[in-house]
Chains A and B, each alone.
Chain A
């Protein structure tokens, strides 16, 4: 029994980790530009509900995915209007976005509670079917978002660390005044970071409802947005390290689901605590060293040169 458990956890880790990775990557871009978005949980909920509703109404999961990405981007633009244009407090604005996401997702999803949808198609490359220990599991039987998760992480890394745009975003996160003096427009770069981060957050939410659960339920993201914010710290604001973090937390969730499915004696409620406890433990272990890695102007409002 041990081998299938390991394989089951592995397969589940990748599936559960997918949405975490997209969410973490999105928040990484946003935080690299010097903005903390505590409203990520709300963006995930909006992505999950909009994605599911559009998929249920149109019959196309792809349309749902596109709508979720757009909704996530728009949500973060609203947040950006508050914290960049109106220079509002970032933490309070993030919590406002969280409430907004709670409410909007409940409203959008309400007509589609219990609706049946065809989720994102999953496939496994045929050459992997040849492996005997793969065929009987769900390992490598993934949807497009999961297959693209690691390439997207590499893309985000490339955009942040190998392009002029990424240099600008990181410069704004370190010192908006210096970036401004160097001829970059901090507000524009922050809006760009926020909208791309929001698109990734919307996709993360959509993956939950369109691939993992195939249902909509209120509050179904269950704190994944906050776990992703912790993962950004865990990965020290680096997109490639975020892959490891997402796999670790996806693994914790998958292990819990596997144990439940196998009729473990441990109460499911205790098992469900694991990801949150793990998050706090990880933050604890990383607590001392994280200040060095954080963007220097993270959370600060830039008032411009006036």
Chain B
């Protein structure tokens, strides 16, 4: 079939063009960020070189990129799925924390269960925690009461307080007087890790979720209905698509996926519930999804890229004595350039 081959070739050349464009955007953003670092009296070239050697130049660094990609992929799909309906989920951060909290509740309440029950249980509870946190703005939006953007943003500030309440209060481990955290989870609740690195089974969940997202959006009736709502909610309603129900479901599932990211962090890496679980994974997930236009392959590529970029935050902290959050400037620069190049079409609600 020559048409199919031509279409494939066209797609490949398009992918190459898109990749080149993003490489250019990143180069400009890196140059602008370097100028800002220089102005602050820091050494941007050393920072970039250090980031490169810490991440791409050795096997351990590369494994840490995959560790970082695990929550980023989930946080990105958490934004991408509702975005197909025209919904803006900026609550990934809060949903991640609530997922971590619910998963921890499962592990701490049923410490005696065998792994084959406990592990699925904490995964499901992590999903449910995030799903609850996503469903609240979903219901408020579906009932046309509160805009989901502002509701998800506000809930971001409540979820970490719930975590803090529990680790300073009921769940506080007796052996951690200086550093409040929960007691260690039973081994049966921990996600297995691979190759003597911190890469854990969460990466498999992330990739499976990304694949499922692609399948559902491209190959099922659900995907068609969701895109119909995103295109024109009123027309979709007239066609008999239950728009309000879809809004709640999409935000709940999105929240649940961010919750899985939180579950992965506590069950795969920390082994306890702590403060500061996420250096803004939820927000970075929003950027990834937005830059990738919600497309699965784009999300995979962008998550890898942002794993490297956010690693630069660690480098700044370790070698340049700057706070991690300074890397947000670099994220903002990338966004500014993309926004300035690509004018909005139509209206933003």
Chain A residues with a Cβ under 8 A of chain B: 38, 78, 81-82, 86-93, 95-97, 99-100, 102-104, 106-107, 110, 218-219, 222-223, 226-227, 229-230, 267, 269-270, 272-273, 276-277, 279-280, 283-284, 287-288, 299-301
Contact = CB atoms under 8 A, between A and B. Distances in A.
Given A82-B339, A96-B332, A276 B154 contact: yes
B330 interface: yes
Q: Which are the 3 A-B pairs with shortest beta-carbon distances?
A: A103-B328, A103-B329, A287-B145
A229 B155 CA distance: 14
Given A269-B165, A299-B347, A103 B339 contact: no
B285 to A, nearest CB: 12
B348 A300 contact: yes
A82 B333 CA distance: 12
Majority SS at the chain A contact face: helix
A106 B325 contact: yes
Interface string B9-41: 000000000000000000000000000100010
B269 to A, nearest CB: 23
Nearest to B42: A107
A279 B154 contact: yes
B273 to A, nearest CB: 14
Contact of B150 (A104, A106, A230, A270): A230
Contacts of B323: 106-107, 110, 218
A223 B161 CA distance: 13
B332 A276 contact: no
A55 B147 CA distance: 38
Nearest to A279: B154
Contacts of B347: 299-301
Interface residues of B, number: 52
Given A276-B154, A287-B140, 10 more contacts: A38-B153, A93-B339, A96-B339, A103-B331, A106-B325, A226-B150, A273-B161, A283-B151, A300-B347, A301-B347
Q: Which of A87, A226, A269 has the most CB of B within 10 A?
A: A269
Nearest to A41: B153
B39 to A, nearest CB: 9
19 contacts: A86-B343, A92-B339, A92-B348, A93-B339, A99-B283, A103-B325, A103-B329, A106-B325, A106-B326, A267-B165, A267-B168, A269-B165, A269-B169, A273-B158, A280-B151, A283-B151, A287-B144, A287-B145, A288-B144
A87 B322 contact: no
Interface in B54-80: none
Given A96-B339, A103-B325, A299 B157 contact: no
Contacts of B90: 95
Nearest to B146: A283
B76 to A, nearest CB: 14
Interface string B272-311: 0000000010010011001000000000000000000000
B348 A222 contact: no
Contacts of A230: 150, 154
Contacts of A277: 158
A74 to B, nearest CB: 14
Contacts of B321: 110
B342 interface: yes
B149 interface: yes
A164 B158 CA distance: 43
Contact of A100 (B157, B332, B340): B332
B40 A107 contact: yes
Contacts of B286: 95
A87 B157 CA distance: 30
